[in-house]
Amino acid sequence: MLNQLLASKKLPPLGTKEEMLDILFKEEYGYMPPKPEKVTWTETTVIRNFCAGKATLTKVDITSEFNGKSFTFPFYVTMPTKDGVYPFFIHINFRADVPDRYMPTEELVDNGFAVLSFGYKDVTSDNGDFTDGLAGVLYENGQRNSTDAGKLAMWAWAAHRVMDYACTIDKLDKKCSVVCGHSRQGKTALLTAATDERFCFVHSNNSGCSGSAITRGKDGETVKDICKLASFWFCENYQQYIDNEENMPFDQHYLVASIAPRFVHIGSAETDIWADPVSEMLTCVAASPAFEKHNKKGFVCENRLPQVGDVYHEGSIGYHLRKGTHYFSREDWLLLIDFINRHKNEI
């Protein structure tokens, strides 16, 4: 049933990782901002009695230098106090708050994880202003070319910089690094992992259109809808596919396939029709051959449309469909942790 439904979409065939990413850069997200020539950081605030003494919370200001310019933004590190080496999340969040309604920090610590997080607007604004934050450093007078990075690529670049810091911390387990985000930040998380192989796992929560959902024939949000809402998330070329999705030389399975052979986890919600859980699951199916080429199990599921309560964690692509709305919930986090714990020894 699923393969028949996919066949009706007439998706472009998968290519090499390099081929697929180049198409995604050129046609959807824009090319990534340059890797810094130098990265430095300063720990500005430390709270030692955090999570009832089970962790410390540190604010870090990180500065990147490139093309004779510099850019600084803050992020936060929640580190368990017990001796040991910890798997860790880099959470691209909507707010800088620790904890946050999308981030149950103490529970994550209780489950044995460190958490590095940042508020995305501390990197660049969530609007069409390309003179703000990182965008203002990248683009003179706020003007960009048709294939230059949109805001999603800039937020992904910031997650790369947080990983630069994480790689220097002995208490963080580099073999169990996870980037995650919800909605537009779920799109960002997928792009982050696709463009940085230091991430072993990625979780995309309710990211839907232009993220984890197949675009062709999708219910809910379309390219037209998302470009009307936030064309600045993407490169300017993406707008040529408004009401023209069947002529895209890619679809979102390219993004997930580019992460192979590492681990991808996609979370859907029953009433999040705008994101479209069926199309999110179809992406998992369509990307699966890229993982199988690496002798990995790709997406292992029943041959039917998703049902509430489905949890598919056997393969390198994981998926769940929970009850409820568009939200990064405690349930999503716990299912993600289950997926990580199931596969962390395979890295």
Q: Which amino acid is residue 93, in one-letter code?
A: N
Whole-angstrom distance, CA of residue 248 vs CA of residue 223: 11
C-alpha distance from residue 255 to each of 72, 189, 309 (Å): 28, 11, 26
Domain that holds residue 18: 2-346
Q: Tell me the one-letter amino acid at 110.
A: D
Strand order in the sheet with 311-312: 38-50, 55-66, 69-80, 114-119, 86-93, 172-182, 201-205, 263-269, 317-322, 311-312
pLDDT digits (tens, 9 = 90+) for 8-35: 999 999 999 999 999 999 999 999 999 9
Task: Look at residue 1 in the predicted model and tell me its pLDDT.
Answer: 85
Annotated active-site positions, please?
183, 326
In this predicted structure, what is the pLDDT of residue 330?
98
Digitized pLDDT (tens) for each residue of the chain, 347 residues in all: 898 999 999 999 999 999 999 999 999 999 999 999 999 999 999 999 999 999 999 999 999 999 899 999 999 999 999 999 999 999 999 999 999 999 999 999 999 999 999 999 999 999 999 999 999 999 989 999 999 999 999 999 999 999 999 999 999 999 999 999 999 999 999 999 999 999 999 999 999 999 999 999 999 999 999 999 999 999 999 999 999 999 999 999 999 999 999 999 999 999 999 999 999 999 999 999 999 999 999 999 999 999 999 999 999 999 999 999 999 999 999 999 999 999 999 98
- Specify the pLDDT at position 140: 86
Which pLDDT tens digit goes with each residue over 60-80?
999 999 989 999 999 999 999
pLDDT of 95: 98
Alpha-carbon distance of 77 to 166, in angstroms, equals 9
**Residue 320 belongs to domain with CATH number:** 3.40.50.1820
Grouping H, G, I as helix, E, B as strand and the rest as coil, residue 319 is strand
Residue 297: predicted pLDDT: 97
Number of domains in the chain: 1
